[in-house]
Amino acid sequence: MSAWCELDLAQAAARVRDGAVSCAELVHACLDRIEALDPQVRAWTTINRDEVLREAAQLDAERARGAWRGILHGVPLGVKDVFYTAGVRTAAGSRLLADFIPRYDAAAVRRLKQAGALVLGKTVTTEFAYLDPAQTRNPWRLEHTPGGSSSGSAAAVAARMCFGALGTQTVGSTIRPAAYCGLVGLKPTYGRISRAGVIPLAEGLDHIGILTRTVTDAALMLQVLAGHDADDPRASSQAVPDYLSGLQSTGRPPRIGVLCGGVFAGADDEVKTHVENVTQRLRRAGAEVNEIDPPQSLPHTAQALAVEVAYEAAVWGRALSDDDRARLGEKIRDLIERGLEIQPAQYEQAERLRDQFRKEARELFGRVELLLAPSTPASAPKGLASTGDPRFIAPWTFAGVPVIGMPMGLDSLGLPLGIQLIGPPFGEDRLLVYGRWCEAVIAFELAPPLAS
């Protein structure tokens, strides 16, 4: 298999720009790797082979004339199969949408293409981005889950089938598969990236996610994706910073808060040991790392989040016929049925708790610059019956604050373990700088055996 696939996204973009590799060569390298590995990994639901090769040839012709579409010119990416893609089936992992072919691209897909990215195809998602497991396997150990719901996106990037991918997160669907697959996952602030053209699960909680191999790669994609969009009424109108400029320097060590009080008591011993090792290394490198008390309302967020997800899923679930609902997977069907029983007063109570938690979370960032926590209680579970445990990730999705996850090592089975760094609302610029600093200290550079 081609060595070009070993490059990260930033390296691949630079090689295209300096003429070391053509766009077509990068696409062929990825397609060859997909052909070799995807029968085992099962990360892709659709490959746009003919279309992406035509587009690569066009981009190479533009490059020969000195024309550049943007910072992702010629870089092959994957797109989770909940994003509309013009002329390409978008099924959201469901039999109900098996024949749905959108007429236009989702806003995020359109922005990637405008920046020169090449969409290789659609990656596997759990049904409607919820908990019913998909067919995808973890490239580190095929008998384990890659996590969900962005299962295919994470597995494809980890197996070096593409240089980055779009995911989504309503509870833990970007940061969890990033942790299980040894990747960087970025969930920006709610509304930082437009959700226009994305099939919803729960619109008040759905975030666009980014899966890459490095923090710099995540910053490149965020630079393209972030910004207001009139087609998404919940998209933020805040100005988009230059996320890339801060990454040019090493940056100063951050002030990091580690939540105490037994918040992460459910983590297994290997996770706890790795977190302690990481915090010691960060301290030795100059970071100020202290334990801080968690927000008082944090223990109540799980129930409130469950109410909101179910209630909002039932908004679109009401439109389904009884026959269609019966064809859904068990977990998404149960979610909708629970949501139909939730009263508006219960939802409003959950929203009040959410506002309180957001306020308390913001107050934490008056004392520290970011929070550090394990991404998951353990490594990826064996078998494909579960997509894993999102409980350590869920509160920060509920709060809508930005989170970047990254690998911190391997457990005794050789499976990745991840940490998450949590920042204040719309603080992605500083979070990326500090994330890059932490990434350099941790220095995790391993690849799945399958991809080696």
Catalytic pick among 22, 94, 122, 149: 149
- What is the DSSP-derived secondary structure letter of residue 203? T
Contact 202, 308 (CB under 8 A): yes
Task: Detail the DSSP E strand segments found in 177-324.
Answer: 184-187, 207-212, 255-259, 288-292
> Rounded distance, CA 209 to CA 227, Å?
14
What number of other Cβ atoms are within 10 A of residue 446's Cβ? 13
Catalytic pick among 80, 113, 122, 187: 80
Supply φ then ψ for residue 195, to 5 degrees.
-105, 10
> Rounded distance, CA 257 to CA 368, Å?
6
Contact 73, 17 (CB under 8 A): yes
Q: Torsion over CA of 232, 78, 151 and 425, rounded to 10 degrees? A: -40
Verify whether residue 122 is a known catalytic residue.
Answer: no
Catalytic pick among 94, 151, 173, 236: 173
Supply φ then ψ for residue 198, to 5 degrees.
-110, 130
Contact 158, 146 (CB under 8 A): yes
Verify whether residue 113 is a known catalytic residue.
Answer: no
Verify whether residue 80 is a known catalytic residue.
Answer: yes
Strand, helix or coil for residue 320: coil
CA-based torsion, 168, 171, 175, 177: positive or negative: negative
- Hey, which residues are catalytic here? 80, 149, 173
